[in-house]
Amino acid sequence: MFFQQVVNGLTIGSMYALVAIGYTMVFGVLKLVNFSHGSVFMVGAYLTLELSLALGGNFFLAAAMSLVLTGMLGVVIDRAALRRLRVKKADRITALISTLGVGTILDNAVMIGFGSETKAFPNVLQLGRFTIGTTVISWVQVIILALALVLMAIMSVIVYRTQMGCAMRATSQNADAARLMGINVNQVIAFTFFIGSLLASIAGTMYGMYYEAIDPLMGSVISMKTFACVVLGGVGVLPGAMLGGLLIGVVEAVGASYISSGYRDAIAFAILILVLVLRPQGILGKKVADKL
Amino acid sequence: MNSIYQALAKRQGLVQILLLAAAAVFPLLVSNPYVIRLSILSGIFIILSLSLNLLTGFSGQISLGHIAFYGIGAYTAAILSKNFGLNFLLCMVAAIVVTALFGLLLGLPALKLGGYYLAIVTLGFSEIVRLVEINWMELTNGPLGINGIPKPALFGIKLSSPRAYYYMCLLLVVLTIVVIRNILESRIGYALGTIRGDENAAKFMGVNIFRYKIMAFMVSAGIAGLAGAFFAQYVTFIDPTSFASDQSTLVLIMVIFGGIGSLPGSVIGAVVLTLVPELLRSLMEYRMLIYGVVLVFMMLVRPEGLLGKINFKHIRQRCTAEPPDGKEGS
């Protein structure tokens, strides 16, 4: 029973983690909480579903197209709703409200375009399940967790080992100095949005396959959860987002079955608040020196 | 534009009296109950955004969970008046006290956390409050909500006509404005301003961070609780959906839209953003889409909000110091 909940929690947590990585990358580079990210995740799932219907059931091609399109959507969001604010050096909270507006637009555009009802999502990976002791694990769960870990590793390589990653870290530390060093900051930010949205699309597709259903409001729930995951792990730290995602997934699943399913989200948030009070920079976050 | 602001600033007293008079005469000229109802809702959101502006705009503490206080106030008033038959004035006072105590509770982590860490804590707080409202059946009747909340009555006279509610709401709005403005123009206001500017600097200037942050949270929460108590007694039915986190972001949007750190801005932001979705109602499902577009467009065109960087006090001081020939820049 306990291990069953841990396995379920890890599966959900992997999806949180993927969305959270996109979140934390954008935060790391722009110091901006991107509230449209949950909606991008939802759009990714819808694109996969609608494209695979349009392509006559070619699910993997649809998923691949959804990745690219969702990634481009991220770039468009940055270009249309955020770049101008950077140029004007507006307050960060203004950019936050702008992303809230983008989220509203995306949610409602999907509702108008595809209907507001819950839609069935095909689970093409009918690979069955296996049992260890009394714990039932489906192969989809294994694939989701493995995919999350692999993507996490790829992201780490991109951020810490490539030239683009170096540019991202430089922009994150000081955008103006990075510009003086010849880094095209807007391009770096566009790339960050592309990668982040692409991961959100993968997470959206996996979410659809796991629950076999999607609806236009699934983004807003995920958005809040992943924000919590990011902060719990330490803002702007990639492994932190992964850890935060898995932790919140497991705590939620275990808490829901042992304490009360009605309080599922409350348990996750209560733990988050406790951790932050004890360790304000998050679990893996570095303590930033106070400007003194 | 500058000369308009100067003219407004110079005749501030007159403008305020005229606005108040207009608000007071308004329900006598308009008898459409729908319009009165919208005005009352705007009034409630004015109170909410003013109280959030005190916390976020003037003290720099970003809160994404302000609606939780509103909900706690509403439930406190509803339960006390329905189950214990308390007079509505006592209910409101009780709502203020209870929410202020919750404000104290939320203010404690704010002493250690700042920026987005605080934002997620407030968001988590409001989610926990909402889930308690949904799940604690014995106290809150869960998702079914509480209905049949007694309407306010004073000395046996029922105050339940739309106009009576309107004037009550107007009174609360004026009271909120007076209280917040007095706070901001006192020592406390300056202390909060320094905390927003630089917490360390404030500490070295001898500002008691603990005291003023907690105070900001308690006052802001108490005012939001008052709005909740009024809301509960106005609609006589409350359920947890009115206090979901999207409502928190709505109030934050009103504050930013009107201009962060501007009291007239909050009033205008609350009224405009309450009315816009109503005016767009005929557009059916395109309503919220357009709302989102308006929001993004507004942020891009005027990132500081409608009245964001317009400080009427400074404009007034400049006007009285120099002849108002309109040549002075803003």
Chain A CA closest to residue B109:
A277
Answer yes or no: do B292 and A101 touch at CB < 8 A: yes
B136, B12, B123, B138: which is closest to B68 by C-alpha? B123
To the nearest whole Å, the CA of A108 is away from the closest chain B CA by: 5
pLDDT band for position A39 (cuts 50, 70, 90): very high
Q: Which of A100, A107, A270 sits opposite B249 (nearest CB)?
A: A100
Task: Please tell me the number of Cα atoms within 13 Å of A284 on its side-chain side.
Answer: 16
pLDDT tens for each residue of B228-280: 999 998 988 898 888 888 888 889 889 988 888 888 999 999 999 898 888 88
Q: Is the pLDDT of residue B329 over 50?
A: no
Contact status, residue B177 vs residue B185, Cβ threshold 8 Å: no
pLDDT tens for each residue of A220-237: 888 888 888 988 888 878
Q: How many CB pairs under 8 A join A and B?
A: 127
Answer yes or no: do B245 and A103 touch at CB < 8 A: no
B146: three-class secondary structure by DSSP: strand
A78, A108, A281: which to substitute to probe chain B, counting the most B Cβ within 10 Å? A108
B245, B260, B261: which is closest to B65 by C-alpha? B245
Instruction: Catalogue the long-range contacts made by B276-282 (C-beta closer than 8 Å, 24 or more residues apart).
Output: B278/B38
B260: three-class secondary structure by DSSP: coil
For chain B, positions 192-211, list CB contacts with chain A under 8 A: 200
pLDDT tens for each residue of B58-91: 888 888 889 999 999 999 999 998 888 888 889 9
Q: Is the pLDDT of residue B322 over 80?
A: no
The CA distances from residue B109 to A113, A238, B189, B202, B252, in Å, are 43, 25, 21, 19, 20
Q: Which of B131, B293, B303 sits opposite A94 (nearest CB)?
A: B303
B58, B61, B116: which to substitute to probe chain A, counting the most A Cβ within 10 Å? B116
Q: For residue A291, what pLDDT is reported?
A: 47
User: Rounded to whole angstroms, how far apart are CA atoms A286 and A160?
Assistant: 17
pLDDT band for position B328 (cuts 50, 70, 90): very low
* Mean pLDDT, chain A, integer: 88
pLDDT band for position B225 (cuts 50, 70, 90): very high
Q: Is the pLDDT of residue B324 over 60?
A: no
Answer yes or no: do A224 and B260 touch at CB < 8 A: no
Q: For residue B323, what pLDDT is reported?
A: 54
Stretch B172-185: mean pLDDT:
93
Answer yes or no: do A98 and B295 touch at CB < 8 A: yes
| Model-level ipTM above the cut of 0.90 | no
Answer yes or no: do B253 and A277 touch at CB < 8 A: no
Least confident window among A42-46, A147-151, A192-196, B292-296: B292-296
Q: Which of B127, B135, B295 sits opposite A269 (nearest CB)?
A: B127
User: Rounded to whole angstroms, how far apart are CA atoms A207 and A62?
Assistant: 15
> What is the model's pTM?
0.86
Task: Say yes or no: B295 contacts chain A, CB-CB below 8 A.
Answer: yes
Domain ranges of chain A: 9-217
pLDDT band for position A246 (cuts 50, 70, 90): very high
